[in-house]
Structures are given as C-alpha cells and as structure tokens.
Amino acid sequence: MSSHIIRHHAPEGVLEAPGYSNVVGAEGRLVVVAGQVSRDAEGALVGKGDFTAQARQVFENIRLCLAAEDATFREVVKLNYYLVDMADIAALRAVRLEHIDDADRPASTAVQVGALFDADFLLEVEAWAVVPAATT
C-alpha cells in the first residue's frame, strides 16, 4: 500500500476553479521549493523581455529542485505565482500544462506584483509538493 496519497477536488458549494484545484489533500513528506526565477545554473537571466521563455526556465528550475528531493510535478500540491503583468497569465497556463497534467491541477494563487527583486524578471514561482514518507 502506498504511503503517498494526493486528492484534488472542488468541494460541494464551492465554484470549481478553472485551471487549479480548490482543495488538495495529501499524505506524506512535504517538499517546499523557494521562489524560482528565470536564471540558469550559472546565474544568467534567461529570456529577457520574453515571458514564455522565462516561464519555461522557471519550470525547469522547479523540476530540478523537485528532483533533488525525488519529487516530480505530479506531486506538486500548491503553486504560488508572482507576475509583473497579469496579462501573461494565459502564457503561464500554457507553460504549466507542458509540465502538469490538467487532471493533477495543484491548488494555486496568482498575484500581480509591482516588480520582482530584479526589473528584468517577469515571473517568480514557489512550489509545494508532497512525496511518500520515508519508511524505516
């Protein structure tokens, strides 16, 4: 029997959300990925002025961080998005679908911010995942 259970749903009485789950229940070990921006392994900005290129690098960074804890996007239960321009939300959703199956939509929050810590960054994303608890 698996020690890892993730449930995605919209409870009765709450409008089903487009593109994310209202509630995600999970059992296991928590993995938290700090906000990722579009920097490569050497620290260089990827995709200056190109939201889609930046989003792809952000999701690649998240993938690498998850892998360090033996996790994948399938175990992601929560995503927090910080966008400089909410007009980019459709492009963000398209890139997210390259990594996360629509049936496994994590709970999500998207916030438009005045700026990120560097004016060239258009997006920052935090991820929370739950993986099977270690067995002894």
The answer as to whether 45 is a domain residue is yes
pLDDT single digits (tens) 18-36: 777 777 777 899 999 999 9
Total tally of structural domains belonging to the chain: 1
What does the pLDDT read at residue 9?
62
Task: Answer yes or no: is 14 within a domain.
Answer: yes
Report the C-alpha gap between 24 and 40 in whole angstroms: 31
Residue 2's pLDDT is what?
41
Give residue-wise pLDDT tens across range 90-100.
999 999 999 99
Residue 52 domain-assigned?
yes
CATH of the domain at 83: 3.30.1330.40
pTM of the entire predicted model = 0.88
| Mean pLDDT across the chain | 90
Q: Is residue 136 part of a domain?
A: no
Whether 93 is covered by a domain: the verdict is yes
Report which of 117, 110, 99 is spatially closest to residue 57, judged by C-alpha positions.
99
Domain region containing 115 = 5-131
